[in-house]
Amino acid sequence: MSSGVGPAIGTGYLKALGTSANLLVTDPSSTDRACALLREELDAIDLACSRFRADSELWRVNHAQGRRTRVSALLAEAVTVALAAAHVTDGDVDPTCGRSLVRLGYDRDFAAARQNTSALSEPAVPAVGWRAVELDRERREIRIPGEVMLDLGATAKALAADRAAIRIATALNCGVLVNLGGDISVAGGPPDQGWLVGIVDDRGFDGAEVAASPAGSRPPLHNAVVAIRDGGLATSSPKVRAWSRGAARLHHIIEPSTGMPVNSCWRAVSVAAATCVDANTASTAAVIRGGRAPAWLAAQQLPARLVGHGGEVVTVAGWPAGPGGKGTRP
C-alpha cells in the first residue's frame, strides 16, 4: 500500500474476520489509536456475528431451536442490515443461506474449511427465506425456525467497515479509509485529490485484491483504479472464497432458491455507493443477477464495473470507462 505523493499518510494492517484489514489515516500521529479502534470494532463484530464461534451471539441464535433470543444492539443492527439487504434485492442476498453453506462444506472458518477436499455427503438445501426471520428491534429479540441458520457474511464485514471508518474519523478528527478484504469505507476529510483505489478482478481465495493510496500514486498491477472521496466501494467475485469438494468446484455466493453457488456470467463486480453496506449488497446481488445486473445497477444509479470471465468489461452509471482507466467516482 503506497502513500504516494502529497501529505504523509498513516497506514495500519490487521488480520480479522478471516481476511486482511487495511487502514489509512490522513494524520500519521493517530495511526496507533486508529488501529486500536479498528481492532475493537472488528472484535465486537466477530463476537456478535460469527457463524463459527461457539461463544458468539449468532451461534446462540442459530442453536436456539426456534426460541426467542435476546441479543446485543450490535447483533440487532447487523441482522437489521442483513434483512434490509434481502428486501432491496428481492431476496437475492439472503441471510438464511447458512445451512446451504454448511451443506457445501463451509461449516467452519474458511481457511480450515477449504482444507477438506473430500466429496460432499449431503445434497444442497435451498434457503428458507429471509421473511422467516423475526426481529424485534425494540426488545432486541430474534427468533428463527429451528431449520434456519443465519449467515451474515454478505453484510457484516461491510457493516464493520462502515462502523469503524465513522468511529475513527469522529474520534480522531481525520480522514480514514478502512479496507476489509475488498470492502472499503471512507469517512472524514480525504486527501486533497481523494483516495486512489486499485482493483484486481481475477484473484481468488481471500478476495479481489484492493489497494488504496492518496490520489497521485497509482497502485501497481491493478485492473482498474478509481478515486473516491466518501461512501463505500465493494467488489464481489465467485473466484473469492472458492473451494473444492470431490469433483465439485464451489464458492460462497449462493443462489438462495437452489442452495448452490450461483453460476454467474461475471467473474467480478465492483460497485460504489453511499455506504460500504450498500456497495457490497449491490455487488453481491449483481453477481447473482448475471446478465440482468447492468440494467438494475443503472436504474439504481450505482456506479459499477462488471467483468466477464473472458475479461470483457461493462461500466454503468458513471463508472470511468476503459480498461484500467483512472477516474473519479461521481
> How far apart are alpha carbons 128 and 298 in whole angstroms?
30
What pLDDT does 112 receive?
A: 83
Poorest-pLDDT segment among 67-81, 134-148, 170-184, 243-257 = 243-257
Poorest-pLDDT segment among 66-80, 88-102, 221-235, 268-282 = 221-235
Q: Is the pLDDT of residue 141 over 60?
A: yes
- Confidence label for 114 from pLDDT (cuts 50, 70 and 90): confident
Q: Is the pLDDT of residue 209 over 50?
A: no
What pLDDT does 105 receive?
A: 82
The single-letter code of the amino acid at 120 is L
Q: Is the pLDDT of residue 154 over 90?
A: no
pLDDT greater at residue 8 or residue 305: 305
Stated length of the chain = 330
* pLDDT tens track for 30-73: 999 999 999 999 999 999 999 999 999 999 999 999 999 999 99
- Confidence label for 203 from pLDDT (cuts 50, 70 and 90): low
> How far apart are alpha carbons 289 and 273 in whole angstroms?
18
Poorest-pLDDT segment among 99-108, 110-119, 286-295, 309-318 = 110-119
Q: Is the pLDDT of residue 16 over 80?
A: no
- Confidence label for 202 from pLDDT (cuts 50, 70 and 90): low
Q: Is the pLDDT of residue 92 over 80?
A: yes
pLDDT greater at residue 329 or residue 236: 236
Query: Cβ of 45: how many Cβ atoms within 10 Å?
Result: 25
> How far apart are alpha carbons 301 and 75 in whole angstroms?
30
Query: Distances from the Cα of 273 to the Cαs of 7, 47, 128, 228, 236, in angstroms?
Result: 27, 27, 29, 10, 14
Mean of pLDDT values over 80-97: 97
**Mean confidence (pLDDT) of the chain:** 88
**Three-state SS string across the chain, please?**
CCCCCCCCCEEEEEEECCEEEEEEECCHHHHHHHHHHHHHHHHHHHHHHCCCCCCCHHHHHHCCCCCCEECCHHHHHHHHHHHHHHHHCCCCCCCCCHHHHHHCCCCCCHHHHCCCCCCCCCCCCCCCCHHHCEEECCCCEEECCCCCCCCCCCCHHHHHHHHHHHHHHHHHCCCEEEEECCEEEEECCCCCCCEEEEECCCCCECCCCEEEEECCCCCCCCCEEEEECCEEEEEECCCECEEEECCEEEECCEECCCCEECCCCEEEEEEEECCHHHHHHHHHHHHHHHHHHHHHHHHCCCCEEEEECCCCEEEECCCCCCCCCEEECC
- Confidence label for 183 from pLDDT (cuts 50, 70 and 90): very high
What pLDDT does 54 receive?
A: 94
pLDDT greater at residue 321 or residue 243: 243
Q: Is the pLDDT of residue 28 over 80?
A: yes
**33 phi, psi to nearest 5 deg:** -65, -40
* pLDDT tens track for 284-313: 999 999 999 999 999 999 999 999 999 999
What pLDDT does 230 receive?
A: 94
Domains annotated for the chain, with CATH where assigned, are 52-143 (1.10.3980.10)
182 class by beta-carbon count within 10 Å (0-12 exposed, 13-18 middle, 19+ buried): buried
| Beta bridge partner(s), residue 226 | 197, 327
- Confidence label for 213 from pLDDT (cuts 50, 70 and 90): low
What pLDDT does 122 receive?
A: 86
